[in-house]
Copies of this chain bind each other. A is one copy, B any other.
Amino acid sequence: MEFPQSMPRRHMLAGSAAALGTLGLASWTSGAHAQVAAAKPLPAYAGWKDPKALIVHSSNTMETRRSAFGTSVLTPTDQLYVRNNLPPPDASILDNRDAWSISIEGVKNPRTFSLGELKTMGLETVATVLQCSGNGRGFFPSKPSGTQWTVGAAGCVFWSGVPVRTVVAALGGGVDGTVYLTGTGGEKLPDGVDPLSVLVERSVPIEALGDAILAWELNGEPIPLAHGGPLRLVVPGYQGVNNIKYIKRLALTPQQSKARIMASSYRLSPPGTKSSPDQRSVWEMVVKSWINGPLSEEGPLKAGMTQIHGVAFAGTQPVQGVEVSVDGGATWSRAQLIGPDLGRFAWRQFVLPVRLTPGTHVLASRATDAAGHAQPAEREENIRGYNNNSWRDHAVTVTVA
Query: Are B220 and A74 in touch, CB under 8 angstroms?
Result: yes
How far does the Cβ of A116 sit from chain B's closest Cβ, in whole Å?
8
Query: Are A122 and B3 in touch, CB under 8 angstroms?
Result: no
Interface centre among A6, A10, A123 (most CB of B within 10 A): A6
A288 to B116 CA separation, bound complex (whole angstroms)? 29
The chain B residue sitting closest to A308, CB to CB, is B123
How far does the Cβ of A358 sit from chain B's closest Cβ, in whole Å?
15
Binding site for B on A (CB under 8 A): 1-8, 10-12, 14-15, 18, 21-22, 26, 44-45, 47-48, 69-77, 79, 88, 90-92, 116, 119-127, 158, 160, 217, 219-222, 224-225, 302, 304-307, 309, 338-343, 346, 349, 351, 353
A74 to B341 CA separation, bound complex (whole angstroms)? 14
Complex contacts, A72 vs chain B, CB 8 Å: 220
Complex contacts, A5 vs chain B, CB 8 Å: 90-92
How far does the Cβ of A228 sit from chain B's closest Cβ, in whole Å?
13
A45 to B14 CA separation, bound complex (whole angstroms)? 16
A283 to B122 CA separation, bound complex (whole angstroms)? 37
Which residue of the partner chain, among B26, B120, B343, contacts A304 with CB atoms under 8 Å? B120
Complex contacts, A77 vs chain B, CB 8 Å: 76
A71 to B217 CA separation, bound complex (whole angstroms)? 8
Query: Are B79 and A220 in touch, CB under 8 angstroms?
Result: yes
How far does the Cβ of A365 sit from chain B's closest Cβ, in whole Å?
14
Besides the contacts A7-B21, A76-B219, what 11 more A-B pairs have beta carbons closer than 8 Å? Answer: A2-B22, A4-B91, A6-B44, A6-B88, A7-B45, A7-B47, A73-B125, A74-B158, A76-B221, A123-B351, A160-B339
